[in-house]
């Protein structure tokens, strides 16, 4: 059994860690509320724009815009969205595991990587995957302009013919306790269950101008969606992880306190026996 000083030091250490986890939970909760608000504001616009393009694509000649070009898939780019920091439960590991599995199915020599978040960069760099570009240390200053700059690099990689397809792996925010790992195709733009109704539609000002205006806007909004969903999911995952850590520390303090009391009682009993034995020896 550990001595009293060791147990007392352990209790003190756990209480110090508990203060940190409580503070991190509160910070994550505040950040999550702001991130969730931004995400929920963007969702209706993203959904409506996607719906418009879904109705527009069946009546569009894909050759009018390079972003719509369909070509045989020989090389793929993966955009992996993680966080810069850990202590968020399985938030990062789930994305990295899914990305790793999908990339290995294609063969890592056939895949280019865009790593958003330090965790993705460190993970794939250590395994010598082909990282084209990485982004980190921007989450606290996340805005739409930054998102557009990131998206421009990714889209240019498709337009210059470096890859034939771009896929994104990220966490979708469902609620505070649930985040789902999604793998979506960003380029080329394709939809299942397209509306194949009448194509006798009138376009104003013109079909070409509408397509050239909406498609780039749609891609920018999609990248923005990935970042917002991931950031909100990160803060929710960290908040839950810190809440669990705080709860576990309380249980640990109770167990250590019980152990401390048992050890102290045993020490007192031993001292009393020694005193009694000494007194008996003097008689």
Together in a domain, 226 and 249? no
Domain that holds residue 146: 34-238
The answer, yes or no, to whether residue 234 has pLDDT greater than 90, is: yes
Q: Measured between alpha carbons, how far is 22 from 243 in angstroms, rounded to an integer?
A: 7
Does residue 192 sit within a domain? yes
CATH number at residue 256: 1.10.287.80
Asked if residue 268 and residue 221 are part of one domain, the reply reads: no
CA angle 36, 217, 95 (to 5 degrees): 45
Tens digits of residue pLDDT in 14-51: 999 999 999 999 999 998 898 889 888 888 988 888 88
**β-strand partners of 167:** 78, 185
**Mean pLDDT score across all residues of the chain:** 86
Q: Residue 22 in contact with residue 242, Cβ under 8 Å? A: yes
246 and 224 in a single domain? The answer is no
Lowest mean pLDDT among 5-9, 157-161, 185-189, 200-204: 200-204
Rounded Cα–Cα distance for residues 175 and 32 (Å): 11
Query: Within a domain: residue 25?
Result: no
CATH of the domain at 92: 3.40.1380.10
What's the pLDDT score for residue 199? 53
What is the model's pTM? Answer: 0.83
What's the angle, vertex CA 158, arms to CA 152 and CA 161, rounded to 5? 135
The verdict on 158 and 271 lying in the same domain is no
36-94 confidence digits (pLDDT tens): 898 888 889 888 888 888 777 777 777 777 777 788 889 999 999 999 988 888 899 99
At 82 the pLDDT is 94
Residue 45 sits in the same domain as residue 73: yes
For residue 122, tell me if it sits in a domain. yes
**Per the structure, how many domains does the chain have?**
2
DSSP state of 174: E
Q: How confident is the model at residue 189 (pLDDT cuts 50, 70, 90)?
A: confident
What is the pLDDT, as a whole number, of residue 176? 86
Banded model confidence at residue 2, pLDDT cuts 50, 70, 90: low
Chain centroid offset of residue 119 CA? 10
């Amino acid at each position: 059994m550990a001595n009293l000083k060791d147990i007392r030091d352990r209790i003190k250490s756990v209480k110090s860690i508990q203060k940190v986890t409580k503070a991190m939970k509160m910070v994550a909760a505040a950040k999550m509320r702001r991130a969730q608000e931004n995400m929920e504001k963007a969702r209706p616009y993203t959904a409506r724009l996607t719906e418009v393009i879904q109705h527009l694509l069946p009546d569009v000649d894909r050759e009018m815009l390079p972003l719509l070009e369909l070509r045989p898939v020989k090389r793929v780019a993966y955009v992996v969205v993680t966080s810069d920091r850990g202590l968020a439960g399985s938030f990062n590991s789930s994305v990295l595991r899914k990305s790793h599995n999908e990339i290995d199915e294609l063969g890592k020599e056939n895949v280019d990587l865009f790593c958003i978040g330090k965790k993705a960069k460190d993970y794939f760099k250590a395994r010598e995957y082909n990282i084209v570009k990485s982004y980190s240390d921007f989450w606290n200053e996340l805005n739409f302009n930054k998102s557009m700059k990131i998206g421009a690099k990714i889209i240019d990689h498709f337009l210059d013919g470096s890859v034939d397809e771009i896929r994104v792996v990220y966490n979708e925010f469902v609620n505070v306790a649930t985040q789902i790992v999604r793998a979506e195709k960003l380029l080329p733009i394709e939809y299942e269950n397209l509306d194949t109704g009448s194509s006798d539609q009138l376009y104003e000002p013109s079909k070409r101008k509408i397509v050239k205006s909406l498609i780039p806007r749609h891609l920018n909004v999609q990248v923005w969606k990935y970042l917002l969903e991931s950031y909100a999911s990160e803060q929710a995952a960290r908040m839950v992880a810190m809440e669990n850590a705080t709860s576990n520390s309380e249980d640990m303090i109770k167990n250590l306190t019980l152990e401390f009391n048992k050890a102290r009682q045993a020490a007192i009993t031993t001292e009393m026996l020694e005193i009694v034995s000494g007194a008996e020896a003097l008689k």
